[in-house]
Copies of this chain bind each other. A is one copy, B any other.
Amino acid sequence: MDTERQAHLLGSAPGGTSAGTPTCAAPRRGRPRSEAAEQAICAAVERLMMDGAGLADLTVEGVAQAAGVGKATIYRRWPNKEAMLVDVVVRLDDPEPELAGRCAKDDLVTLLEHMRRRGLAKRSRWVLMVVFNQLHGLPALREVYYERVIRPRRETIRSVVERGQATGEFRADLDSEMLAEMLVGPMLVRTVLWDDAPLDDPGLSAAMVEAVLEGLGGPAHVRRAG
């Protein structure tokens, strides 16, 4: 009766990403799942959340009603409310930007700037909120988000750093993990934790990159004045 139900936990695209060879030879009998229903559910979740409803007000019954869909149609796709939320949230998240690649430092600024703008946009801000507010309660969300967002970002940063090292722009022993944390951490804190360290300043990203690379500094920095 229940052929698959936790399919969406890792990698949401049905059919897989590997080319050519079909994942399942059995021709999947019966009426196929409605793509329309799936989109209606996602849209309903988004709409409900954008209408100011808190995360606790997000009801499976409410989503079903708002999407014009039966509850069973939701539970056929996800085993419970949390799994649905995880999957929808991940789908709603913005993709990472393409990096222009002029110089490594600019790429880091571009990346941070993307994060900053995500924090300003209502929808993606909500996505981040949900993610970081539910990580503890929903281990699955942590897993998925890490695989689909965090790890790619770290990879990106690492490649940028390597490029910068190759061109001599960065020191050869620059620790890309530490760099990633020191860039992403403060931006995340501003985005999801405190409203009073706002994201409005357009120069914020550049300032952060500058600070991380050059240091906020002790007196040794007087060399700058020289």
A residues sitting closer than 8 Å to B (CB atoms) are 54-56, 105, 129-130, 132-137, 146, 150, 164, 168-171, 174-175, 177-179, 181-182, 184-190, 192-194, 197, 207-208, 211-223
Contact (Cβ within 8 A) A133 B130: no
Contact (Cβ within 8 A) B219 A216: no
Chain B residues with CB below 8 A from A207, complex form:
178
Given contacts A132-B133, A137-B133, A212-B215, contact A221 B182 (CB under 8 A): no
A52 to B218, CA, bound (A): 44
Contact (Cβ within 8 A) B215 A215: yes
Can you list 12 A-B contacts (CB < 8 A)?
A54-B136, A54-B137, A132-B133, A150-B194, A171-B218, A171-B219, A178-B211, A181-B189, A181-B190, A188-B189, A213-B215, A213-B216
Contact (Cβ within 8 A) B55 A136: yes
A144 to B215, CA, bound (A): 32
Contact (Cβ within 8 A) B186 A182: yes
Contact (Cβ within 8 A) B186 A218: no
Contact (Cβ within 8 A) B213 A182: no
Contact (Cβ within 8 A) B211 A217: no
Contact (Cβ within 8 A) A214 B211: no
Cβ contact of A186, chosen from B181, B193, B213, cutoff 8 A:
B181
Q: Which residue of B lies closest to A169 (CB)?
A: B218
Contact (Cβ within 8 A) A214 B215: yes
